[in-house]
Structure 1
Amino acid sequence: METEMEVEAEWIGGLDEMEAGTAGKGVVLPENAADLDEMEAEGTADGGATGTTEEKECWEYEAEWEYEQALTFRDSWISIWGDQFGSFEETTAIQPMRYTDAEAPGGYAQPLDSLQIYSIKVADIRGGLRWPIHVYGMIAARDVVDRNRNIVFHRSRDHCQTLTKEDSCLVMTGPTRPIVMLGAMNFEITLKVKEGSTESRDKVLSFLAVPHDTVNCLELSCATDRKYISKLSTLEFTMSQIARSVEATISVQMVDGSSWPHGVRGEFSACTTSMADRKVVLLDSGSEKEVEVGADGMIQLSRCVASVEFTGELKVCVVAWWQGEVKPKKAWKVFKPKKAGRNYGTFNLGRACKVKVTVAWSLLSYYPVNRPNSPYGSLALLREAEGRSTV
């Protein structure tokens, strides 16, 4: 007789195969699809891609393939998932710290494989684009949990991020919860370049909906970097699949009445010690920005969620670049993961600057059981929704 988990994996895996075959390979159709033809006509005469004719033909073919495969993405998603998970534009309702303080339902919460994104870089631009570029838009992940957008990057047109050839990494703001890896998940990418005073003059930098397949039977965490090609750009995603992971939600607060010193650059990061060379940047204030501190002393992090193997370790690091000092002041602490609850650590960065780091732990789940009116609150309802009889 099949176990509950075997039935669960079979059901979700079958739907992933259907999704991958109809919707998971391409791009969402842009609102102004004619822009793409104009971009192609512009060619690469001004600041476009360089390389041999064969290389150009290669990326042009791949970009066209991605675009053609994506034309049905929205319709396919609505057809398959719309009744269960709402509108196509809806963001995930599942928040971090899901089981930090609440008792996890038996069988539905456990360490699971998850996808950790470290950086997203605009590695190449073409079609007349020149550095610097002013980028806005959205990048989101859609996983098996609720199929809704888990926002990774988001900027409005009025708050573009300026990218240069030397610094072309997007400042990520998510994901808001770990991306659970069971079957294929999808990245939805909608990025534009601000070109003038009106949006009609802007160019579509990247408009894709591409799959990212899970590494099956994973025993150790591994790198899963990818490149995604569009007509005007190549994006580089630096990522890892974290094996049997739990969620770490990280917060940082000033303590003992201290405040973050004016003009001091601060960087806050976390990593699993099994892949110490790959860090999740929680906040990098940069050389020209202040570290924002709320009235309660909480530091406003850009990102707060990381994944770590349940049998591994999480390293949290804080770095301060003091004016007049050759080397930055660095402090770190290693935390042992837990199924629930919290860990704490106090970092002394010198000159009466102290911060308290809190790590809130939570198990993961395949099911959106906390979502209001979810049809997947139990395995029985899951089977009923699929139209199967119980085993």
Structure 2
Amino acid sequence: MPAETCVSEAAAAILDVAVAGDGEAKRQLVAVDDDDDDDSEPNPYEYRVFFEWLWDYYGCKIDDVTRGPTFRTPGARISPCVEVYSCRVIDLTGGLEWPIDVFGFVAARDGLDRKRNYIFNRPRGDAQTLTAEDPSFVLTGPIRAINCSQRIEFEVDLKVRGKTQSDRDKVLSARYIVYETMGPNCMVGWVRSKARPGKRCSVEVTFAHLAGAVEAAIEVRVVQGSSGFCGRFVARTDGYDDDVVLVDSSNDGSVLAVADDGVIKLTRSVAVVESTGVLKIHAIIARNDSSSSGDDGVGVAAEDHAEFAAQRFESSCRTLDLGFCKMLATVSWSMIPLI
């Protein structure tokens, strides 16, 4: 092996994460010890060297992005998967104060292809404002199911946009959070959180480990009535109390984007479900157009839900009746590909 491709023990140690917990609580917070990585580097040098040494032979570059969703991919099976519920910034320090405008990405790498599967990804011009009251990112992924037959690495590369032209951008976090999917610290069927401290904050990811899952690609289409509404669409798997937020404009009251063919633009459209489980989609919306009743132009909120028994390769459709409009929710099911 050429000398320049050799990897130090420190490089391998970047991927080894000590896990602490009592093994009893349904929710478990695991803090990963901080290290001496230079926060000025988006990808810590040692990790980049290790990754490229290990995966370049298989044609996987560190900046490669995965493809998805995996609908009807040949050579697939029911597999253990991770469902990500939230990602947030905690313990803000290093001279930073709320609110902060954050851009960059958080991505998951799994054993299917080791490529980036973004769960949050924003350019500088579309930075998200985080506050002490709401420090959670608006998740835009994953774009396919996150398989956990092997270890998962959550790659964090986040920056804070300068508030003025003279105030330069600062690195918020450049870290890797590792979840070992097998062994004594693996908690199948439970919701847990893992946090990686850095010099300016900790980034915390909350997720569940499902033992045998299928992928659900979700589409919601307005088929009758008005499309001028704001609201919140969430998905939930029976047995888990946390919501997968598909889109949410309930806080700012903005009108949800609807394409010419009636398809609602979801910020996130992929979930995973136990193969014997049920996916529930819940919609709460309010009219927000000139035809609405009331002096403020906002109508009374309406809500409905639909349930889908998990399938393997089929598509399922259910109607959501919101009074002033009807929607068709379609779930395209797929098992998880082996490669």
Q: Tell me the TM-score normalized by structure 2.
A: 0.82
Distance 1:219 1:210, change over 3 A: closer
Return closer, same or farther for 1:74/1:132 CA change in 2, 3 Å cut-off: same
> Does the Cα contact within 8 Å between 1:119 and 1:237 map onto a contact in 2?
yes
For 1:306, give the aligned amino acid: A
Tell me the equivalent position of 2:221: 253
Mapped contact 1:22–1:76 kept (Cα < 8 A): no
CA distance in 1, matches of 2:182, 2:61: 29
Q: Do residues 282 (structure 1) and 250 (structure 2) align?
A: no
2:144 matched to 1:177? yes
Aligned partners of 2:337 and 2:13: how far apart in 1? 26
- Which residue identity does 1:314 align to in structure 2? L
Give secondary structure in 1 for the equivalent of 2:331: strand
Structure 1: distance between partners of 2:11 and 2:305? 41
Letter in 1 for 2:279: L
The residue identity in structure 1 corresponding to 2:245 is: V
Residue 356 (str. 1) matches residue 328 (str. 2): yes
- Once the 2 structures are TM-superposed, how far is the Cα of residue 216 of structure 1 from its aligned partner? 5.0
Residue in structure 2 matched with residue 307 of structure 1 by the alignment: 272
Q: C-alpha deviations, 1:328-365, integer Å up to 9, x for none?
A: 422111111111010001111112x1111000000002
Shift of 1:23: 4.9
1:269-297 residue CA offsets vs partner (Å, 9 max, x unmatched): 1111111x111001002323210001111
Moved more, 189-198 or 213-222: 213-222
Q: 1:345 aligns with which of 308, 312, 318?
A: 318
Give me the whole-angstrom Cα distance separating, in 2, the residues matched to 1:90 and 1:64.
Answer: 26
Q: 1:24 aligned to 15, 31, 44, which one?
A: 15
- Output one character per residue of 1:255-312: Cα deviation in whole Å (capped at 9) or x when no partner: 03x2322xx421111111111x111001002323210001111110001000000011
Q: Secondary structure at the match of 2:125?
A: helix
Q: Does 1:189 align with 2:156?
A: yes
Check 1:22–1:127 CA distance in 2 against 1; reply closer, same or farther (3 A cut).
Answer: closer
Shift of 1:209: 1.6
Look up the equivalent residue of 2:275 and give its one-letter code: F
Deviation at 1:113, TM superposition (A): 0.7
Greater CA radius of gyration, 1 or 2?
A: 1
From 81, 85, 92, the equivalent of 1:118 is 85
Shift of 1:183: 2.5
Gaps spanning 5+ residues in structure 1: where? Answer: 1-17, 27-58, 368-391
Structure 2 CA distance for partners of 1:145 and 1:199, relative to 1, 3 Å: farther
1:125 CA drift (Å):
0.7
Distance 1:271 1:196 in 2: 37
- Whole-angstrom distance in 2 between the partners of 1:163 and 1:190: 16
Partner of 1:336 in structure 2?
A: 309
Give, in angstroms, the shift of residue 315 of structure 1.
0.7
* Contact in 1 for aligned 2:187/2:209 (Cα 8 Å): no
Matched letter for residue 201 of structure 2: S
5+ residue gaps, structure 2, are 1-8, 18-30, 289-293
Aligned with 1:317 (options 282, 285, 292):
282
The size of the alignment, in residue pairs, is: 305
Query: Secondary structure, in 3 states, of the residue corresponding to 1:139?
Result: strand
* TM superposition shift of 1:326: 10
Mapped to 1, the partners of 2:152 and 2:10 lie a distance apart of 9
Which has the larger share of helix? 1
Correspondence 1:1-391 to 2 at 5 A:
21=12, 23-25=14-16, 62-64=33-35, 70-92=44-66, 94-99=67-72, 104-105=74-75, 109-197=76-164, 201-215=168-182, 221-256=189-224, 258-261=225-228, 264-275=229-240, 277-286=241-250, 287-322=252-287, 328-351=301-324, 353-367=325-339
Shift of 1:124: 2.3
- SS of residue matched to 2:215: strand
Amino acid at match of 1:156: P
| Matching residue's letter, 2:33 | E
More strand by proportion, 1 or 2?
Answer: 2
SS at 2:239 equivalent: helix
Q: 1:219 to 1:207 in 2, by over 3 A?
A: closer
Give the TM-score of the pair, scaled to structure 1. 0.72
- Distance, in Å, in 1 between the alignment partners of 2:183 and 2:319 is 39
Q: What SS does structure 2 have at the residue aligned with 1:186?
A: strand
- Contact 2:320–2:327 (Cα < 8 Å) also in 1: yes
After alignment, is 120-129 or 207-216 more displaced? 207-216
Instruction: Work out the CA distance in 1 between the residues paired with 2:104 and 2:336.
Output: 29
Question: Quick check: 1:253–1:355 contact (8 Å CA) kept in 2?
Answer: yes
Q: Which amino acid aligns with 1:359?
A: V
1:386 aligns with none
CA distance, structure 1, for counterparts of residue 11 and residue 239 of structure 2? 31
Map of 1:37 onto structure 2: none
Paired with 2:141 and 2:174, the residues of 1 have a C-alpha distance of 19
- Post-superposition Cα deviations, 1:234-264, rounded to whole Å, max 9, x if no partner, equal 22211101120000000010103x2322xx4
Native 8 Å contact 1:270 1:280 kept in 2: yes
SS class of match (1:75):
helix
**In structure 1, what is the Cα distance between the partners aligned to 2:244 and 2:90?**
19
